[in-house]
Chains A and B, each alone.
Chain A
Amino acid sequence: LAKTTQPISMDSYEGQEVNITCSHNNIATNDYITWYQQFPSQGPRFIIQGYKTKVTNEVASLFIPADRKSSTLSLPRVSLSDTAVYYCLVGESVMGRDDKIIFGKGTRLHILP
């Protein structure tokens, strides 16, 4: 399982774009990159998942360079409600097989008014 490294914490202001980068130097060929958001006393919530290049959904964008050794979660125009812990996870997915994923320490994002 690929280990991930993220900044421990980040501060930003409402309306700004926030980019959180995750390093995963030993990512394997079959690994996907998934980001989760967690509010206090709640289970993690899926944000976005990607394998390479760029993925965008209604919540965020995920940028993955060609070597896939890092990825960047981009949150456009954040609001106070985006204050949460963000986890970057890397794991294998194969049809019919399940694997476990280990959570890193995550990034505590604090949005200021």
Chain B
Amino acid sequence: GAVVSQHPSRVICKSGTSVKIECRSLDFQATTMFWYRQFPKQSLMLMATSNEGSKATYEQGVEKDKFLINHASLTLSTLTVTSAHPEDSSFYICSAITSGTSYEQYFGPGTRLTVT
């Protein structure tokens, strides 16, 4: 159980275009989802926290108008990279949380974005 999927797994786009990445919790309801970005050989960097039905909370330094997050249901959150540039090329990972007495995030497999 507790599976999180991401789509697409890989995407290549041209500079200036927008790309949408989906994150789904397949067998549980996720009240909160997180979006991370990871550059090669580096750790995961939290970009934003997404709560179902409310606006996302962005970490310092992350442009909310560039990285649009929508958490429309308890099983789906989307990250849209708008007007993508080559420096946005990265590995984007989402995770979801279920409420409970022990803390565990369930991570998606990640999406490799390459902007040419």
Q: Residues of B contacting A100 with CB < 8 Å?
A: 34, 46, 49
A95: contacting residue among B46, B91, B101, B107, CB under 8 A: B101
Among A36, A97, A98, max chain B CB count under 10 A is at: A98
Does A93 lie within 8 Å of B107, measured CB to CB?
Answer: no
Interface residues on A, range: 20 to 34
Q: Residues of B contacting A41 with CB < 8 Å?
A: 91, 110, 112
Stretch at the interface among B63-71, B79-87, B92-100: B92-100
Least Cβ distance of B107 to chain A in Å?
Answer: 4
Q: Residues of A contacting B45 with CB < 8 Å?
A: 103
Residue of B nearest to A36 (CB): B107
A44: contacting residue among B99, B103, B107, B112, CB under 8 A: B107
A102–B47 alpha-carbon span in the complex (Å): 10
Q: Looking at chain B's contact residues, is the secondary structure mostly helix, strand, loop, or mixed?
A: strand
A91–B69 alpha-carbon span in the complex (Å): 24
Interface residues on B, range: 20 to 34
Does B43 lie within 8 Å of A49, measured CB to CB?
Answer: no
Residue of A nearest to B34 (CB): A100
Instruction: Report A41-55 residues with CB < 8 Å from chain B CB.
Output: 41-46, 49
Instruction: Check A106/B43 contact, CB under 8 A, given A34-B103, A93-B102.
Output: yes
Binary contact readout A78-92 vs B (1 if CB under 8 angstroms, 0 otherwise): 000000000100011
Q: Residues of B contacting A36 with CB < 8 Å?
A: 107
Does B110 lie within 8 Å of A46, measured CB to CB?
Answer: no
Residue of B nearest to A98 (CB): B32
Least Cβ distance of A57 to chain B in Å?
Answer: 13
Interface, chain B (partner A; CB < 8 A)? 4, 6, 31-32, 34, 36, 43-46, 49, 91, 93, 95, 97, 99-110, 112
